[in-house]
Structure 1
Amino acid sequence: MTRKLGKGRLVAATHNKGKVRELKDLFEPAGLEVVSAIELGLPEPEETEQTFAGNALIKARAAAEATGQPALSDDSGLEVTALGGMPGVHTAIWAGEPRDFYKAMEKVENLLREIDAKDRSARFVSTLAVVWPDGHEEVFEGEVHGTLVWPPRGEKGFGFDPVFVADGETETFGEMDPAKKHAMSHRADAFRKLKAALL
């Protein structure tokens, strides 16, 4: 049975500052105080699953256990049709350590050129997992479809945003006003489903 999220503190189980900002923008108007794993000094658990849901649950379970509070995690990535869904769950790994998403975007572009891909369609996927300290779990998936462009455009957003143009749009997520992006992104889609069920 679905459980409602009461007002109060929600731990954002992520070390990605861009995601923390988006999660605060989404959840704080609903009366939840979002505090990140970075602020709490929580370690980053190893993501060993092969699905977005599996990795989101690893992070949310670790944060709920460490803090004794409900924890929210987002695992998201870019799936490129012509690359068989890559980079997918390995989206962040493609950026290396320290994270360099320009290199990751370049890697995708070079692979598309190598196979002379005419199909540049892609989708962003976001899976939000909420885990309570007693072990109750809820998972919601969202997506947004679009096309990849080159070269990257725009300084807003993060990750692969500068090369992704959502269907029906002309700006990349990197050029788009953040409020507009938040209203249509994969994370917003997952959040709408979560909100309908939990808030």
Structure 2
Amino acid sequence: MKPVTAPIGIAKTARGLLITLPGRFWLLVSLRRAVKRLVAHEEPWTYLAPESKGVRIEQWVAEVEMQLAAESRRRAWSVSDAEWEAAPSAAAAPAFSPPSEPLIVNLPSAKTTRSTLSLLKKLEAGQVLVSTPDRGGAGALRIYVLRPSGRVISTRVARRAIEDRLVLPHCDGLFGPDTSQSWGFPTDLKPQES
């Protein structure tokens, strides 16, 4: 059975906004960053936020609900309880079903840069290109890292390899290959017949 997260509750009181959180520490840290003068209330996981024009609680709730939905969707795509506990009686469902249309990957051309070819060699050796948000940025900036080595790849080189379709998306984003968060070397390259 998968745990169900309690929703975030907000109530307007005479002392400010009463916010009830599910029991997750990262939510509290995120709320403390969004609301500077946060005060603990009597009940566990309840907090009072002063009601002022500077507090954008609705925006914070929307961002957190998107993160929680993405986390629950990620968990739904990962292993099932039967697979996790290795129960022999339950049939394990595949964690990810590939898209029905084939993903088209291009071969490097003569115009492919040396740095892009170097990236492809590392991917062919078993590394995986992973996109992560920049911690210091506003969320729009992305950092590309090779896993498991942890080597940071230039954003320009990574974007060129992705946009030129030289790497295979792992389709681990919310909306298929276009929002993929990781890419690998296309191991099943077969020339198309004309």
Question: Larger % of helix: which?
Answer: 1
Greater strand content: 1
Give the TM-score, by structure 2 length: 0.24
Q: Larger RCO: Structure 1 or Structure 2 (Cα < 8 Å, ≥ 6 residues apart)?
A: 1
TM-score normalized with structure 1 length: 0.24
**Highest Rg: 1 or 2?**
2
